[in-house]
Structure 1
């Protein structure tokens, strides 16, 4: 259901993007860059008015680390955990759909009025965001809502980010790979430098309400990854239900349903969904530069080690 709001937002944005002048495609808020096509300055200005609930299911991930995929997994797990009978499920689905059509599932996307509308959503709400921890609404931490933080190896993240940015026309002009790599490596992209997100989340390693997981970990063993999510969020889901959700949320299964769930923007969201695609694009110099920056910034942190950089980012 939440996908409907996302679909409407992005389809409307794509239809209107030709009217946005190159100089207006990005804006800055608190020193960080955001794309005009999906974010609104007014929404970011009142972000702290968002009222979290203790049972909210929060998913945080830097752009193109897999939040669309893992977000759908969480929606499926929450629905299975609710154990609604078919009549109640349909009723709840209709109510949720009507409300979420005007919501948008990413916290910072859409218009400022969304936070009032979010108060009307039934629990448990599955909420996604690309924001770094220091930019999240304070109520999330005050209410002790549980946060799942998703990471992906930085090389695949960069490649996926380039394709999404160009297909969605986030920037004033189309970027070549070399241009985008330079921007990504220096943090001149929406949401800033990826390594800074890793550095900031290292401060929450001892927070029992924060769980860390990687895209690669879920790709290797989706059932095991889901069991970790189930335990963390206290979902009540059987082994059989987990396996059913594993099958329903494979990349192929989601891509096959993409036109139904995401409409015209599906082609911009579902590309390859594999690990290691960076090997087809990175030059030797770019490999060395990324390796050096990773080593200098986060390699020795606990989260940096959790990324298994040597396994996923070395030839």
Structure 2
């Protein structure tokens, strides 16, 4: 897997010589970063062979994916005794045909992840009944985090302004597509026993309980001491401190604030109302909408 990490770092370097207008492209109607997940990667993914014991993490961008990567790596290490550390997040859309061959021979349990819409995830993950953990975050904080991420990530186009990014996010014209489309698609899978949906806010409030539930979902048996070890090492601040070794130069880009409610420092009253209306229209009355506890975190 180290070759995959090295390849990813080289793509970040290449991005500095690519014009902003060439950094994104559209595949199956969705925008993706060209350097990190080119068309050949996404085509190759359709034939990816999942395993029943894969540990699969899914999140819309900036919903807590990298934080949960760290939590799950610690859970796997405590439960199996095998180190699950790696420099890059295990996004399957970053792998490419050659990397997928490497992944195919990796020992179980393989730790994999994606930002892709559930309908774009390789069909074998559903056919094999792979356990899938999905993490969501309230859309206002997600938008703010995504805005700063795009502003500081060389593989993505620079953001023209806060206002322009707000409009792009609301219309779904951002990498990996619409937040609301992702949420509604996972809403349809919430009765699937192989899918577990958690929220960033709940995990921030009680990470220890989150670790307990997530470990049980994947079938990992942790003692109380092991759960405490995972929890103490998995705070956002702890992850940020170790991000230079885990994510290299991208550490400070990926781990920015990790706060609940930072949206209040960015949204205008008009933008707040627009998001409130969109949430009510798209997710009002849904189970995933209820789970996000929108009124508490966004009003």
Same fold (TM over 0.5): yes
Q: Distance in 2 between matches of 1:249 and 1:5?
A: 26
Please, which of 280, 286, 292 is the counterpart of residue 295 of structure 1?
A: 280
Superposition deviation, residue 119 in structure 1? 1.2
Single out whichever of 121-130 and 18-27 deviates more from structure 2. 18-27
**Residue 229 of structure 2 corresponds to which residue in structure 1?**
244
Q: Residue 18 of structure 1: CA displacement?
A: 2.2
Q: Output aligned runs, 1:194-209, within 5 Å.
A: 194-209=179-194
Query: What whole-Å deviation, never above 9, does each CA across 1:69-90 have from its counterpart, x for those lacking one?
Result: 11111111111111x3xxxx5x
In structure 1, the gaps of 5 or more residues are none
Matched with 1:127 is 112
Aligned to 1:77: 75
Matched, 1:58 2:56: yes
Q: What are the equivalent positions in structure 2 for 1:18-29 lying under 5 Å apart?
A: 18-29=16-27
Maintained 8 Å contact 1:7/1:263: no
Q: How far apart are the structure 2 equivalents of 1:202 and 1:255? A: 31
Q: Report which stretch shifted further, 106-115 or 190-199.
A: 106-115
The answer for the alignment partner of 2:159 in structure 1 is 174
Looking at structure 2, the residues matched to 14 and 47 of structure 1 have their Cα atoms a distance apart, in angstroms, of: 22
Q: Aligned-pair distance for 1:110?
A: 3.4
Contact kept? 1:6, 1:262, Cα under 8 Å: no
1:149-160 to 2 correspondences below 5 Å: 149-160=134-145
What is the number of equivalent residue pairs in this alignment?
A: 299
Closer, same or farther: CA 69–172 of 1 in aligned 2, 3 Å: closer
Could you tell which deviates more after superposition, 105-114 or 210-219? 105-114
Taking structure 1 as reference, are residues 32 and 56 closer, same or farther at Cα in structure 2, changes over 3 Å only? same
User: Does the CA-based 8 Å contact 1:53-1:145 persist in structure 2?
Assistant: yes
Does structure 2 retain, via aligned residues, the 8 Å contact 1:32–1:190? yes
> What is the Cα deviation at residue 283 of structure 1?
0.2
Tell me the distance in 1 between the aligned counterparts of 2:4 and 2:260: 25
Q: Please give the residue correspondences for 1:270-285 in structure 2 after superposition, counting only pairs within 5 Å.
A: 270-285=255-270
Q: Distance in 2 between matches of 1:310 and 1:5?
A: 45
| Whole-Å separation in 1 of the counterparts to 2:189 and 2:74 | 27
1:185 is matched with 170
Give the whole-Å Cα distance in 2 for the aligned partners of 1:186 and 1:174. Answer: 15
1:163 shift after superposition = 0.6
Residue 107 of structure 1 contacts residue 128 of structure 1 at CA under 8 Å; is this kept in 2? yes
Q: 3-state DSSP class of the match of 1:28? A: strand
State the match for 2:203 in structure 1: 218
Q: TM-score, normalised by structure 2?
A: 0.95
| Larger deviation, residues 132-141 vs 259-268 | 259-268
